[in-house]
Amino acid sequence: MLPEKELTIVGTSPEMKLTRNKVTGRAEFTVDMRRPGMLYAKMLRSPHASANINGIDYSRALALSGVVAVITYEDAKYLYKPSHGSSREYGLDDMVRYVGDKVAMVAAETEEIAELALGYIDVDYEVLPHIVDMEEAMEPDAPVVHPERQGIDCDGNILDHNIQEWGDVEEGFKKADFIIENRFYTPRVCHAALEPHAMLAEWDLDGNLTMWSSEQTAFMIRDSLADALKMPRSKIRFIVPDYVGGGFGGKYESAEKIALAILARKAGKPVMWRLTREEEFYTTRTRSPCIFESRTGVTKDGVFVARQMRGIIDIGSYAWGAIMSSRAASYMTMLYKCANIKYTGYGVYTNTPPSGAMRGFTSTPIHYAMEAEIDEIAAAIDMDPLEFRLKNKLNVGDIIPLNGVAVSSSGLEETMLKGASAIGWHRRNAKPGAPDARYKRGIGMASYCHYSPMLKGTERSIGNAVLKSNVDGSFHLLLGLADIGQGLRTIMAQICAEALGGILDEINLTLADTQTTPWGTTTAASRSTIETGGAVKDVAEKMKRRLIELASVMMGLHEGDLDTKEGLVYELANPGNSVRFGEILHHPDVYLRGDNVIVLKSTYSVPQFVPPYGSQFAEVEVDTETGEVRVIKMVAASDVGRAIHPKSVEGQLEGGIHMGIGFALAEELKIDPVTGAPLNPNFLDYKLFRAGDMPELKIIIVEPVDPYSVYGVKGVGEMTVIATAPAIRNAIFNATGAKVFRLPLTSENVLAALKEGHV
């Protein structure tokens, strides 16, 4: 790898690529696509939370003018197995497991006709008992969500039961001067991305399938489709369009693509399927509801000696059980020092909407429990919560028990101190709840860590990149990742231009097309810049060396005497002696040898686990008569490693706070405990915060450049959503002394806590 010199492109904030098309409305999203003869699909969904389907008669629907094809489980009972995790779901099945589950699919000339046809499909349901409460689902006599998996990977509704332990917690508790026990609940939350899920499937006469879809990954879905349909991967082309209207983990993988592919093949025409906003709420993946029961021991001088957690993760009807319940344990080891830690986790099926990845996947719920508890511990031992965190935090060089890796860089202390200064930590109540008044103000904080990338033990995160030259000296970068609105396209171009010594505007990109780009993982887990950015930097350095090699012959100089900048190769001793990239590639000798067409590839393996850290602070005002909480100010101090595009980083951190405030104060997809039906699957009843509802925000970027990552970067996208809810909760505790264990922190929950002391 070439030695780094002063950076000129990385660390700046140029105009984001393709932005003008977005702001002028010229951008084409999946929902805007059209193909000749295109039909439209609609899905018939189950009104029952659990039922066997004994038969389906769709003859009346097929007789409607404009209806072209109908499929059922008899056509599409193909198993969709995700690339990781444990969800097992068919394209269409003869058993439904939640209200909204897939029953039959119609293709028609218009969406209106397809919708009408759904009412003409007759289904013979055998209604079964169902279960929607995660704890009741664990009982031996509970209705079983997946009876076909018993004895294979399920014990009743428990898909996953794992125990992870470091040290000896019982011995640790013997050393504790103070032991606190709590029970926390976090709710089912929807992604609510602006662009609904949309996908278009088309077959050619040679049996090749092309699918366009608003997704966070292309290759993983292609591979899962190929396995399900028993087709060679070469016969499936999956494309994520240039414009995706938000993902947040919700546009990841789903079995419904199998049904669409089968429907398009049966119809013999391209078929577009666009979910309604209501479908978005209760048929796509949600954040799992969670229960965390904690028991924590500390010494009187504020040192952790034992931490124990029991986590119950409601994985819904189809979900990633093992990955969700087991990874939560990791965060108990990554932020604070403690010699004795034990986590017991359960992934539990219920007859509710399927759950899956959501911003801060696996970390956001358990951080609420861990960080909310710290402020109570600090109050009990009469210690400042900031002092407690500073005393127990992991430092550079400390070993992370999770994987035995030493912390290579950390801005955690800096985020704590700078965030505390920005919020005015000295203004907080020395004693929670004082003084006595109707409107009480308080200040709270919470810290966080996260996977970025996901490395544990011998696992490795891989990125791929292909870079090819054009004869005019511009370049084309091909990556298997999708840009879901966070600016990945621009950031990768910045890394490429920096390492190459090129011009940013002369780096064009093709992303997430399984036929033309190299294999790529998924745009998720705040890992893209570290993984694929490493491959981009490496392939750009290879291209730089090749250009210098060609130029050295032209210029009659040794390669070691040359370098690149701003799209030219120049002599180090005499910078005025230079040649542009285009001149090199146009040179007759180079052109005639065919050396002007340079195509290079790099595969990059992330060498070291690189967790990002951060701290958030909240100031709130609580109306003690109504329980209403108003967030006055939020401060987010985030260790991002190096900010490749600082403005983009700020935007992502602000967006995370927005989502975190909704998670903290309002958002919950409610399920009828009797019928299993969703009660608020719309923007009227599902409460989201708008831009005008946001408090004063202060973003602090901390940049401890990590030695093991590309240009020292860490993750950004998920970070500030993780600590927002516990920071607000702790501010409420500081203001009132009331302990709220259940999210969201609605007026009802806060008022109940004020009356009872806790809820």
Mean pLDDT of 621-645: 97
Q: In this structure, which amino acid lies at residue 568?
A: L
Structure-token pair, residue 706: 């990590």
Cβ 475 vs Cβ 582: under 8 Å: no
Has residue 287 got a pLDDT over 60?
yes
Mean pLDDT of 746-755: 95
Torsion sign, CA atoms 734, 740, 746, 750: negative
Least confident range from 43-57, 131-145, 579-593, 607-621: namely 579-593
What's the rounded Cα separation, in Å, for the pair 699 and 636?
5
What's the rounded Cα separation, in Å, for the pair 346 and 68?
45
pLDDT at 713: 93
Q: Which of 651, 600, 614, 629 lies closest to 731, judged by CA?
A: 629
DSSP state of 147: G
Cβ 35 vs Cβ 107: under 8 Å: no
The fold adopted by the segment(s) 33-128+194-246+251-283 is Aldehyde Oxidoreductase; domain 3 (3.90.1170)
Q: How far is CA 490 from CA 10, 247, 506, in A?
A: 11, 18, 12
Cβ 292 vs Cβ 369: under 8 Å: yes
Has residue 758 got a pLDDT over 90?
no
Q: Do domains 33-128+194-246+251-283 and 290-456+608-756 have the same CATH topology?
A: no
pLDDT at 524: 85
Mean pLDDT of 711-723: 92
Has residue 25 got a pLDDT over 90?
yes
* pLDDT, tens only, 116-153: 999 999 999 999 999 999 999 999 999 999 999 898 88
Q: Which residues contact 613 (CB under 8 A, 6 or more apart)?
A: 335, 410, 411, 412, 415, 447, 448, 449, 639
pLDDT band at 83 (very low <50, low <70, confident <90, very high): low
Has residue 320 got a pLDDT over 80?
no
Has residue 425 got a pLDDT over 70?
yes
What's the rounded Cα separation, in Å, for the pair 330 and 344?
12
Beginning with the edge strand found earlier in the chain, give each strand of the sheet holding 613-623 in spatial order.
Answer: 439-449, 613-623, 629-639, 696-702
Mean pLDDT computed over every residue of the chain? 93
Structure-token pair, residue 232: 């060679």
What's the rounded Cα separation, in Å, for the pair 289 and 282?
14
pLDDT at 255: 86
Has residue 74 got a pLDDT over 70?
yes
pTM for the whole structure: 0.95
Give one word for 485, left, alpha or beta, with left for phi > 0 and alpha for psi -120 to 50. Answer: left
pLDDT band at 6 (very low <50, low <70, confident <90, very high): confident
* pLDDT, tens only, 529-571: 999 999 999 999 999 999 999 999 999 999 999 999 999 999 9
Q: 747-756 vs 719-736: helix axis angle to the nearest 10?
A: 40
Which residue carries 């021991």 as its tokens? 297
Q: Which of 250, 449, 252 lies closest to 363, judged by CA?
A: 449
Has residue 92 got a pLDDT over 90?
yes
What's the rounded Cα separation, in Å, for the pair 534 and 513?
20
Q: Are strands 341-349 and 158-166 parallel, antiparallel or unpaired?
A: antiparallel
Based on the residue annotation, tell me whether 718 is a catalytic residue of this protein: yes
pLDDT band at 527 (very low <50, low <70, confident <90, very high): confident
Q: Which residues contact 660 (CB under 8 A, 6 or more apart)?
A: 364, 720, 721, 722, 723, 724, 725
What's the rounded Cα separation, in Å, for the pair 738 and 745?
12
pLDDT band at 453 (very low <50, low <70, confident <90, very high): low
Give phi and psi for 387, each to the nearest 5.
-60, -40
pLDDT band at 253 (very low <50, low <70, confident <90, very high): confident
Look up the CATH number of domain 19-26+461-605.
3.30.365.10
Query: What does the domain layout of the chain look like in residue ranges?
Result: 19-26+461-605, 33-128+194-246+251-283, 290-456+608-756
Beginning with the edge strand found earlier in the chain, give each strand of the sheet holding 562-565 in spatial order.
Answer: 562-565, 568-571, 578-580
pLDDT at 759: 54
Q: Which residues contact 164 (CB under 8 A, 6 or more apart)?
A: 326, 329, 342, 343, 345
Has residue 654 got a pLDDT over 50?
yes
Mean pLDDT of 54-68: 98
Looking at 623-718, list the stretches that DSSP marks H as alpha helix, in order from N- to C-terminal side: 646-665
What's the rounded Cα separation, in Å, for the pair 517 and 222?
13
Helix (H, G, I), strand (E, B) or coil at 215: coil
Has residue 727 got a pLDDT over 90?
yes
pLDDT at 294: 97
* pLDDT, tens only, 200-243: 999 999 999 999 999 999 999 999 999 999 999 999 999 999 99
Has residue 459 got a pLDDT over 90?
no
Has residue 197 got a pLDDT over 50?
yes
* Catalytic residue, candidates 376, 718, 748, 756: 718
Has residue 651 got a pLDDT over 90?
yes
Q: Which residues contact 363 (CB under 8 A, 6 or more apart)?
A: 327, 328, 331, 448, 449, 450, 451, 718, 722
Cβ 30 vs Cβ 212: under 8 Å: yes
pLDDT at 136: 98
pLDDT band at 3 (very low <50, low <70, confident <90, very high): very low
What is the four-CA torsion angle of 130, 132, 135, 139, rounded to 10 degrees? 0
Domain 290-456+608-756 in this protein, CATH class: alpha beta
Has residue 457 got a pLDDT over 50?
no
Q: In this structure, which amino acid lies at residue 582?
A: G
Q: What percent of the chain has pLDDT over 70?
A: 96
Torsion sign, CA atoms 657, 662, 664, 665: positive
pLDDT at 595: 79
Has residue 87 got a pLDDT over 90?
no
What's the rounded Cα separation, in Å, for the pair 338 and 331?
12
Q: How far is CA 631 from CA 14, 192, 425, in A?
A: 33, 22, 16
